[in-house]
Amino acid sequence: MFPLTKILLPVDFSERCLGAARYAEALAAHFHAEITLLHVLEPIRYEFSTLEFGGTVLNDLAASRAALAQTQLDGLLQGELEGVRVARVLLDGDPAQKIVEYAHNERMNLIALPTHGYGPFRRFILGSVTAKVLHDADCPVWTGVHLEQAPKVGAIAFRNIVCSLDLGPQSRKALACAAEMAAEFKARLTLVHAYPCIESRPGEYFDHDLAADLARSAREELEKLRQEAGAEADLVVEGGDAPQVVCRAAQAHHADLLVIGRGSAAGLFGRLRTNAYAIIRQSPCPVVSV
């Protein structure tokens, strides 16, 4: 993620884009980065393309859509992004695929985009474009279900950063990102790990020492990672459902940012594990998935 010089901000002209833009602007202003506003025009739907239109009519329709989108893109966030360098790019194709390809080809350091959730359903919905970008993107991805409620740029601050570590292969990378952000913004850093909560059933013997051993082992490994990273951080080790433990810790520590790791293996869910999806949906603050 560092040095942070190029931020990709995909836009669909919704209110959520404004919130994402505020965080992107705050980061760009701090790191003197350039923001690229990217809008992807989806192909004309099949049922329209098979209507008895001549090729000229379809070409005119496509050109009209492109011209309208370019006009919207050129005028988007003109007043909000006055203080940073901005590029505007219009592409055609599948939105998620084009976002990932553009970020990779242009070596973007960060993709910032909102999730797709509304009202009481935010905890259960992760937009398909966001999910695909999270799964496939090489660079860190900044998301947030509450971005339409983002504060003004001048009020955005990173005083408390929480980093969730599952102690897997990606933990060191996530911790490095969180530690760099904490150092850059002089923020308080808290490392969180959730270990499996073992409960006994009626009539079954339950070894309470096992839970204590799990907690002790996790804390030792967390402390080892912290020392390797040379980071100053508080440690939170708690048994239970990982998304609930992590999001509760973020709430309790008044987190301005939550950093989580993504898997590196190929295949379905290879990049982003089930817990990561739930954490992103439930987090009370923006999430950076590394």
Q: Which amino acid appears at position 198 of this protein?
A: I
CATH superfamily of 157-290: HUPs (3.40.50.620)
Q: Which CATH superfamily is domain 1-150 in?
A: HUPs (3.40.50.620)
Question: Positive or negative CA dihedral for 91, 108, 30, 157?
Answer: positive
Vertex 63 angle, CA 57 and 65, to 5°:
105
141-159 pLDDT, tens digit each? 999 877 767 888 989 999 9
Q: How far apart are the C-alpha atoms of 106 and 154, rounded to whole Å? A: 29
Nearest to 280 by CA among 98, 100, 147, 158: 147
CB 234 within 8 A of CB 189: yes
7 touches 27 (CB < 8 A): yes
Burial 141-155 (b: 16+ CB within 10 A, else e): bbbbbbbeebeebee
Please say whether the beta carbons of 191 and 212 come within 8 A. Answer: no
Count of alpha carbons within 13 angstroms of residue 96, beta-carbon side? 13
Contact yes or no for 261/228 (Cβ under 8 A): no
From-to residues of CATH 3.40.50.620 in the chain: 1-150, 157-290
Distance CA 133, CA 7 (A): 14
Residue-by-residue DSSP string for 71-123:
HHHHHTTTTTTTTSEEEEEEEES-HHHHHHHHHHHTT-SEEE------GGGGG
pTM score, two decimals? 0.87
Query: How far is the first Cα of the chain from the last one, in angstroms, to the nearest whole number?
Result: 8
How crowded is the C-beta side of 42, counted as CA atoms within 13 Å?
10
Beta sheet of 160-164, edge-to-edge order? 85-92, 34-41, 6-10, 110-112, 141-143, 287-289, 257-260, 160-164, 188-195, 234-239
Tokens of 163: 């980093």
pLDDT digits (tens), the chain, 290 positions:
788 999 999 998 887 788 899 999 999 999 999 999 999 998 876 555 555 555 576 677 778 889 999 999 999 988 888 889 999 999 999 999 999 999 999 999 999 987 765 444 444 445 678 888 998 999 999 998 777 678 889 899 999 999 999 998 889 999 999 999 999 999 999 999 999 876 555 555 555 677 788 899 999 999 999 999 999 999 999 999 999 999 999 999 999 999 999 865 433 334 455 688 889 989 999 999 99
Contact 281, 117 (CB under 8 A): yes
